[in-house]
Amino acid sequence: MSIEDIKNKSKEDLIDYLIKFEDEIKELYLSGKIRSPVHFCKGNEEHLIDIFRNVKEGDWIFSTHRSHYHALLRGIGREWLKQEIMENKSIHINNEKYNFFTSAIVAGALPIAVGVAEGIKLENSKEHVWIFVGDMAAETGIFHECVKYARKQNLPITFVVEDNGLSVNTPTQESWGKEDSGENVIRYKYERVYPHHGCGQWVTF
């Protein structure tokens, strides 16, 4: 199946397609036939379907441990995906034919996605990178580094934050603190007189 085949389906049909797959995996999981973690996606259909309308053939998808919907919407075949899950690879769904990469380390795929985007820019090709992260990943330092670098370097990448408010069961915003954290930062500018170290003159030992 191609991404175009997916796009030709109606939103209602796609929701049905995703949920039926999820229900089938759930049955297998409950019957004890899958012996590794499975992260279900239910409730996240509509936004993803809208976002994947903009994904083109050849684009790169970077996903997480919760990747089943991303894979299906990228056009990866449901039977192949099901087989991978049955082989206990749910958190490591990778398919190079679809430029589909996942990492189960929170925020782990971010800089890899940025590197691919850098490569696309260097070769001036038309591919685009889509990276999906959760709300806790979006609070990490490396998320901000990657977003800032990609924006300033005008890289062909879109960061998508799927915010369900929870990281495992930790309320993301409560654990980070809801109040504005800007007041405890003082920032000023100055011009340095000397180089990074030393004083600009050679010393002989």
Residues lying near other proteins in the complex (CB under 8 A) are found at 92, 94-96, 101, 103, 105, 108-120, 122-123, 142, 145-146, 149, 196, 205
Please, what is the minimum distance in Å from the beta carbon of residue 114 to other proteins?
Answer: 5
Please, what is the minimum distance in Å from the beta carbon of residue 155 to other proteins?
Answer: 10
Please, what is the minimum distance in Å from the beta carbon of residue 47 to other proteins?
Answer: 25
User: Half-sphere exposure of 34 toward its Cβ, with a 13 Å CA cutoff?
Assistant: 20
Residues in the chain, how many?
205
Give CA–CA dist 113/110, Å, rounded: 5
Q: Which is nearer to other proteins, 26 or 92 (CB)?
A: 92
**Structure tokens of 58?**
């050849």
Give CA–CA dist 46/53, Å, rounded: 11
Q: Which is nearer to other proteins, 14 or 103 (CB)?
A: 103
What is the pairing mode between strands 170-171 and 166-167? antiparallel
Please, what is the minimum distance in Å from the beta carbon of residue 57 to other proteins?
Answer: 17
Q: Which is nearer to other proteins, 49 or 110 (CB)?
A: 110
Q: Which is nearer to other proteins, 40 or 149 (CB)?
A: 149
Give CA–CA dist 184/177, Å, rounded: 13
